Amino acid sequence: MSRRERRSRVFLAGVGLLVALVAVGSAPPPDRSGASAGAQRENLSQWEYFQTVRVPAGIKLADLIVSSPVFGRSKRGLEDLRLVDSKGQPIPYALRVLRTSDEQVLVPATEFNRTKASLSLDLGETPGEHNEIQVSLSDKGPREYRRPLRLEGSADNKTWNDLPLKDAYVVHLTVRGRLIEQRRFPYPPSRLRYLKVTVQPDRSLEKDDPEIRRAEVFRTTPIKGEDIGIPASLERREPGRDSWRGESPFTSAWWIDLGEEGVPCEKLMLEIANPDFTRSYRVETLSADGSSYAVADGELRRRAGQPEGPLTILFNTETRSRRLRLTITDHRNSPLDLMRVTAVAPARQIVFAPPPEGGELRLYFGNPNAPAPNYDFAASLTGKLPPLHRSDVGHVETNPEYHEPEKPLTERWPYLVDVVLGAASAVLVVLLLMLARSAIRRHDATPTATVS
């Protein structure tokens, strides 16, 4: 083997060693949680915390409400929750958010007597109860409109009577860059077989000619949610001036601490001692990285003689920030006497089928590497549930079998990559110098051709 070939092999070996060391140092530790979909056993030593869940014998279906401390120690979507019995056997569960909502069922209907701006619907001989209609209009013509809507009902397709609608206008408008659309309309529960829908032109538009594309009838049933109050500490009032308003009025600000990161919050309940006031407010979040954004703004109002119950601030969206900042604009008024604040969010419910003998179960959490279990039990749990037994849940405890996951080399030795890169750079410099010297010697040893 020539000297040149040996040097090339040494060079390639050094590059390969560099790549291997960097890959090993930066790779994440292998997932040894043993987690998998379905009700298979898992290595629970990878879960840092648990709560005891007590269920009596003979219960077919039970539930529990996730408590605030669990949010701060779990993954954001609670994918790492695991419920096991006294023998360590996983118990499949369904995680549900108990937010107030509507359950909508489409009522089959057949169109007849259709014109451009009107149509009738036949819901069949026994349509059952219906209480909402959705009207979709054609995209042809003006893009923004406010068109009156009329809904009539009949039992025999001969005698028609108006069905009262609230805000009976089909609306599609853009106000300050925000789309306002209305095409669903509730009406008093009815069992009439026939409905007639008529859309009239928007009088503010010249020669408006609306066209109905489709009309659908629904039976809408409200589903009552369940809220939980979250302990929140109210810090001292901070007086200030509101620089975001041009007149810079006087303000009062309070920091609200929910106690844990990741705790959901959808609204605040304020207990204020003052009997008569009108103040504007703003609520902002403060994330762990120091960033903030507004989640609610509006006006707090109470008149003398009105009930002195809590006032509600509803957020634009649910937030998961531990700290919130409430700012109330006082102008030249005395500050409000804010006595107490309660954070509120829809409850997170875990539904499960406990073992027939009942006993003490464990709810494990606190494994950032655990994937969602995706139990078949959750997919099959649909529709209205039978009465559930609400289980008692104990305090958060540390798992005595917990073993902290092995950290990657880059975290155990933070300077490893720098050392490896520095050593590899030195090797490469030496190899380049050797190759350069070899090239110079070959050049000097080559005889110079003479030109005659």
15-70, pLDDT tens digit by residue?
454 444 444 444 444 433 333 334 688 999 999 999 999 999 999 999 999 998 99
Please tell me whether residues 107 and 199 are part of one structural domain: yes
Q: How many CB atoms lie within 10 A of CB 270?
A: 20
Please tell me whether residues 83 and 125 are part of one structural domain: no
Concatenated DSSP letters for 279-308? EEEEEEEE-TTS-EEEEEEEEEEE-TTS--
Of 198, 199, 182, the C-alpha closest to 147 is: 199
Residue 405 within any structural domain of the chain: no
Residue 38 within any structural domain of the chain: no
CATH number for the domain harbouring residue 308: 2.60.120.260
**Which amino acid, residue 267?**
K
Residue 391, burial from CB neighbour count under 10 angstroms (0-12, 13-18, 19+): buried
- Read off the tokens for 425: 């750079």
Interatomic CA distance for residues 279 and 268, integer angstroms: 16
Q: What pLDDT is recorded for position 296?
A: 94
Residue in the block written with tokens 């042809």: 140
Please tell me whether residues 242 and 195 are part of one structural domain: no
| Domain count across the chain | 4
Please tell me whether residues 68 and 176 are part of one structural domain: no
Which residues fall within 8 angstroms of residue 311, CB to CB, at 6 or more apart?
269, 270, 272, 300, 302
**Which amino acid, residue 253?**
A
Q: By the 8 A CB rule, do 54 and 395 touch?
A: no
The domain in which residue 87 lies consists of 44-98+350-398
In DSSP terms, which residues pair with 216 in a beta bridge?
A: 134
User: Which one-letter DSSP state was computed for residue 426?
Assistant: H
Please tell me whether residues 92 and 152 are part of one structural domain: no
Q: By the 8 A CB rule, do 233 and 324 touch?
A: no
Residue 379 within any structural domain of the chain: yes
In DSSP terms, which residues pair with 314 in a beta bridge?
A: 267
Please tell me whether residues 139 and 183 are part of one structural domain: yes
Interatomic CA distance for residues 379 and 130, integer angstroms: 28
In DSSP terms, which residues pair with 299 in a beta bridge?
A: 280
In DSSP terms, which residues pair with 186 in a beta bridge?
A: 132
Residue 181 within any structural domain of the chain: yes
Given a cut of 50, the residues of the chain with pLDDT beneath it are 10-11, 15, 17-38, 452
Torsion 328-332-333-337 (CA) sign: positive
Of 181, 161, 170, 174, the C-alpha closest to 214 is: 170
Q: What are phi and psi of 131, to 5 degrees?
A: -150, 15
Please tell me whether residues 383 and 331 are part of one structural domain: no
In DSSP terms, which residues pair with 54 in a beta bridge?
A: 360, 392
Please tell me whether residues 307 and 268 are part of one structural domain: yes
* Boundary of a domain, candidates 181, 199, 223: 223
Residue 133 within any structural domain of the chain: yes
Please tell me whether residues 208 and 236 are part of one structural domain: no
Query: Does the predicted TM-score (pTM) go above 0.75?
Result: no
* Boundary of a domain, candidates 161, 190, 223: 223
Please tell me whether residues 278 and 235 are part of one structural domain: yes
Tell me the helices (H) and strands (E) count for the chain, helix number first. Answer: 5, 30
Interatomic CA distance for residues 396 and 394, integer angstroms: 7
Please tell me whether residues 180 and 279 are part of one structural domain: no
Please tell me whether residues 418 and 391 are part of one structural domain: no
* Boundary of a domain, candidates 163, 188, 223: 223
Strand 389-390 vs strand 62-65: parallel, antiparallel, or unpaired? parallel
Interatomic CA distance for residues 334 and 272, integer angstroms: 13
Residue 81 within any structural domain of the chain: yes
Interatomic CA distance for residues 64 and 349, integer angstroms: 6
Interatomic CA distance for residues 356 and 354, integer angstroms: 6
In DSSP terms, which residues pair with 251 in a beta bridge?
A: 240, 329
Residue 153 within any structural domain of the chain: yes
Interatomic CA distance for residues 305 and 153, integer angstroms: 44
Strand 311-319 vs strand 194-199: parallel, antiparallel, or unpaired? unpaired
Q: Determine the 3-state secondary structure of 21 from DSSP.
A: helix
Residue 193 within any structural domain of the chain: yes
